């Protein structure tokens, strides 16, 4: 069976690695570590197809150590013990380098079994993960390792790699591959920063191309079919899920309806309207808040409509709610107020209620205060009277500060009016 194009084109040197200039360019941290010849324990974190395995292989091939490879998806404790058993043998006299792909799939006990050996230097660990290592990897392993983040590769960085891949296919198969700059660009932009996905798309595009007179021409029509969903970098349980939701939330908060619609569209295209709707309900209260209180029932109505309609029609009320919130005035005063109140709950013991707010109790003999003495606001002008409501220890605490928007300033002026009339 022929090896995939992605493996045939895999770089053999750091100079050939696509992207990752932030850690692999001249004088950047990982480049300097690799060139020093001293390999520490490392964790490579980033999405699939961006070079984590490639860089690990380059390190292994240039360090002179005995290389062992395990994959967290199928490695067992006995596999790890087999690696440990080779410590000190003739074949490992220059040390053992263990490349552990998808380390997040190993359980805590399996990860713990490596601790003693990576700490004393018997094993040098290079692990890779597509999930945030600070959540997915055992903390003791993290503390003994240096984490390097790999980022999606840009389309511009992908173009030379795609051209090289097409050239390799042409040389191997004895025919010329015709691909316009537009085709190369379309492949580059359709793969979401995933080099492996770009190589696979290029390979399939050649296979599906139009063959004539020793030449294969990649057509737009075939590429459209191959690449129409290949740029969807989305994992409902992974970092990408939370990154998209975070970007969406911050775009609405920042009043950028276009960016908000972009991230919403990515969630809709992935079929995840549940997460999107939940975040929209949160934004209505957290970020629009009291500046436009009607956003809450309106967004709720749009969410209900979206969930009843289902896709594809759900996009309509979702878009309406997003644009409404992004273009509405913003206030986080309610959010800040409840957070401040919760901080007091954490720091204060259970405080007594003011006597006049308690439910009516029987005053026994010897009671210091007889009667409740609650002032019923509706018995007073404007249905308002000043009295203490907070516990004594917090009686002067202020949690809520009126926002500067029209809605809250109107409420502020009304409050001032009541207070001014009390002073008359």
Average pLDDT over residues 103-113: 86
Q: Express each pLDDT in 372-391 by its tens digit.
A: 678 888 888 888 888 888 88
Please check the confidence at residue 363 and state whether its pLDDT lies above 60: no
Q: How confident is the model at residue 330 (pLDDT cuts 50, 70, 90)?
A: very high
| Distance from chain centroid for Cα 97 | 30
Kindly state the percentage of the chain with pLDDT values over 70.
89
Q: How confident is the model at residue 284 (pLDDT cuts 50, 70, 90)?
A: very high
CATH number for domain 155-227, candidates 1.10.357.10, 1.10.3230.20, 3.40.640.10, 1.10.8.60: 1.10.8.60
Task: Tell me if the domain spanning 349-422 has CATH number 1.10.3710.
Answer: yes
Q: How confident is the model at residue 1 (pLDDT cuts 50, 70, 90)?
A: very low
Confidence (pTM): 0.57
Quick one: DSSP state of residue 368? S
Residue 261 vs residues 300, 306, 323, 373: alpha-carbon distances, Å: 18, 15, 8, 55
CATH number of 239-327: 1.20.272.10
Alpha helices for 64-154 (secondary structure H): 77-85, 108-112, 115-119, 133-136, 139-143
Task: Tell me if the domain spanning 20-149 has CATH number 3.40.50.300.
Answer: yes
Q: For residue 227, what pLDDT is reported?
A: 64
Q: For residue 153, what pLDDT is reported?
A: 82
Average pLDDT over residues 6-28: 78
**CA gap 355, 275 in Å, rounded:** 45
Q: For residue 297, what pLDDT is reported?
A: 95
Please check the confidence at residue 320 and state whether its pLDDT lies above 90: yes
Q: For residue 138, what pLDDT is reported?
A: 84
Q: Express each pLDDT in 132-153 by its tens digit.
A: 888 888 888 888 888 998 888 8
Instruction: For the chain, give every domain's residue range.
Output: 20-149, 155-227, 239-327, 349-422
Least Cα distance to 150 among 230, 278, 239 occurs for 239
Q: How confident is the model at residue 61 (pLDDT cuts 50, 70, 90)?
A: confident
Average pLDDT over residues 302-317: 91
Average pLDDT, the chain: 83
Quick one: DSSP state of residue 37? T
Q: How confident is the model at residue 356 (pLDDT cuts 50, 70, 90)?
A: confident
**CA gap 420, 266 in Å, rounded:** 53
Among 122-126, 226-230, 273-277, 284-288, the range scoring the smallest mean pLDDT is 226-230
């Amino acid at each position: 069976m022929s090896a995939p194009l992605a493996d045939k084109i895999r770089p053999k040197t750091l100079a050939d690695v696509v992207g990752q200039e932030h850690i692999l360019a001249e004088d950047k941290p990982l480049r300097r570590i690799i060139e020093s010849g001293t390999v520490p324990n490392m964790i490579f974190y980033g999405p699939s197809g961006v070079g984590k395995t490639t860089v690990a292989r380059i390190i292994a091939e240039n360090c002179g150590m005995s290389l062992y490879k395990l994959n967290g998806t199928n490695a067992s404790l006995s596999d790890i013990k087999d690696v440990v058993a080779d410590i000190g043998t003739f074949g490992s006299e220059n040390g053992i380098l263990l490349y552990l792909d998808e380390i997040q799939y190993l359980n805590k006990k399996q990860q713990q079994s490596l601790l003693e050996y990576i700490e004393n230097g018997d094993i040098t660990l290079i692990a890779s993960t597509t999930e945030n290592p600070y959540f997915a990897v055992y903390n003791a392993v993290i503390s003994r390792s240096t984490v390097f983040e790999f980022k999606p590769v840009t389309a511009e960085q992908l173009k030379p790699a795609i051209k090289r891949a097409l050239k390799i296919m042409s040389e191997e198969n004895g025919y010329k591959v015709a691909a316009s700059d537009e085709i190369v660009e379309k492949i580059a932009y359709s793969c979401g920063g995933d080099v492996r996905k770009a190589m696979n798309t290029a390979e399939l595009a050649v296979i599906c191309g139009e063959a004539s007179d020793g030449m294969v021409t990649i057509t737009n029509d075939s590429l459209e079919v191959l690449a129409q969903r290949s740029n969807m970098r989305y994992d409902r349980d992974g970092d990408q899920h939370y990154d998209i939701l975070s970007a969406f939330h911050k775009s609405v908060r920042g009043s950028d309806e276009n960016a908000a619609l972009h991230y919403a569209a990515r969630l809709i295209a992935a079929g995840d309207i549940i997460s999107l709707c939940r975040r929209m309900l949160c934004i209505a209260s957290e970020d629009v808040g009291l500046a436009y209180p009607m956003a809450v029932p309106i967004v709720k109505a749009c969410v209900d409509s979206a969930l009843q309609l289902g896709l594809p029609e759900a996009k309509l009320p979702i878009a309406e709610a997003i644009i409404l919130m992004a273009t509405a005035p913003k206030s986080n005063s309610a959010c800040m107020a409840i957070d401040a109140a919760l901080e007091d709950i954490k720091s204060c013991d259970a405080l007594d209620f003011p006597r006049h707010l308690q439910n009516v109790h029987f005053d026994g003999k010897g009671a210091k205060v007889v009667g409740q003495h609650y002032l019923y606001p509706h018995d007073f002008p404007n249905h308002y009277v000043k009295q203490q409501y907070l516990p004594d220890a917090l009686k002067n605490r202020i949690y809520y500060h009126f926002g500067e928007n029209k809605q809250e300033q109107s409420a502020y002026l009304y409050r001032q009016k009541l207070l001014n009339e009390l002073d008359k």
